[in-house]
Amino acid sequence: MFRIGDFSKLGQVSTRMLRHYDKLGLLVPEQTDEWTGYRYYTIHQLPRLHRIIALKDLGLSLQQIADLLGEDDSLPNDQLRGMLTLKQSELAREKAEMEFRLAQVEARLEQLEHSEEPSPYEILVKSVPSLPVASLKQIVPHVQEMGYYCETMTRSLYRKLSAGKVGWGEPELTLYHTSEYRENDVEIEVCIGLDQEMSRPALVDEDVTFRVLPERPLVAALMYEGPFSGLTPAIFELIRWVGTHQHVPAGPLRELHLSGPAHPETPTDAVPVVELQLPIEQIGSSQN
């Protein structure tokens, strides 16, 4: 048997909490010395203690934990494992959201700190020719999941084209179909350039679209080199530049992957090179 101090070390929980669990009848010592009041626990009580801690971490009250466990640890392992897995997923989503918020704040801070300085990016206006592509479209529930969806969709598109024996060319690109800034339900389209325009081959999955991206006479273009996680400040700068030069967006933002596939099957240490292209028109020209 273990005295309460030793048992607290084994279970990684304070003696104060063990006394509290005893008082509630949640974890009663195997033996209590009637003369000294010392509490003694056995190694066989550790699993119940671990279950109590796990359920407490899930946010359950001690009364709820007592109801779930009963006196005989009646909560099956599979059920507890499922509850912990759900909590793990919930915490992972919260972590991803906080990381996204932090990145947004850092991008805004960078804008403020460099607002009086020359732009670190070179932006030029040019025309781009039409481009035949094969593509997949999907709604991304939240922008913080953008990386996951882009990777999954792009790899799926390559697999579908390979299965249909369709050859592809360059470039690989992503289109963001939104007329306003939004964080939820963002429609994106991942595209792979084709060597020539073609109709849908019979062997290709019906989700794949074959179309021609139209020629754009005016496009504001910005070159970016670095990790995809750092694209946000560059996008902000491109949009700011368009506005300060008396233009407005006239089509979806294009993200061209000039350094090759953004999500290769075999990861590399190569630094991504991206060209951001935003079709533009002069303010008021759409009404003329």
Other CB atoms within 10 A of residue 105 CB: 10
For residues 127 and 264, membership in a common domain is answered with yes
User: What average pLDDT does range 205-220 have in this prediction?
Assistant: 93
Residue with more model confidence, 267 or 134? 134
H/E stretch holding 184 reads strand 184-193
In this structure, what DSSP letter does residue 144 have?
G
For residues 139 and 277, membership in a common domain is answered with yes
pLDDT, tens digit, 9 for 90 and up, residues 222-270: 999 998 888 888 888 898 889 888 889 999 999 999 998 888 878 788 8
**CATH code of residue 60:** 1.10.1660.10
Q: Enumerate residues 6+ apart whose C-beta is below 8 A from 152.
A: none
For residues 241 and 178, membership in a common domain is answered with yes
Q: Per-residue pLDDT for 126 more than 80?
A: yes
Burial status of residue 54 (CB atoms within 10 A of its CB: 0-12, 13-18, 19 or more): middle
| pLDDT confidence bin for 217, thresholds 50/70/90 | very high
For residues 133 and 65, membership in a common domain is answered with no
For residues 58 and 128, membership in a common domain is answered with no
pLDDT, tens digit, 9 for 90 and up, residues 148-186: 899 999 999 999 999 888 889 889 999 999 877 777 889
Other CB atoms within 10 A of residue 178 CB: 14
For residues 146 and 67, membership in a common domain is answered with no
For residues 180 and 273, membership in a common domain is answered with yes
Q: What is the pLDDT of residue 117?
A: 63
**What is the tally of structural domains in the chain?**
2
Q: Per-residue pLDDT for 211 more than 90?
A: yes
Domain range holding 133? 123-287
Q: How far is CA 220 from the centre of its chain?
A: 28
Does the predicted TM-score (pTM) go above 0.85?
no
For residues 278 and 135, membership in a common domain is answered with yes
Q: What is the pLDDT of residue 287?
A: 46
How far is Cα 163 from Cα 22, in angstroms, rounded to an integer? Answer: 63
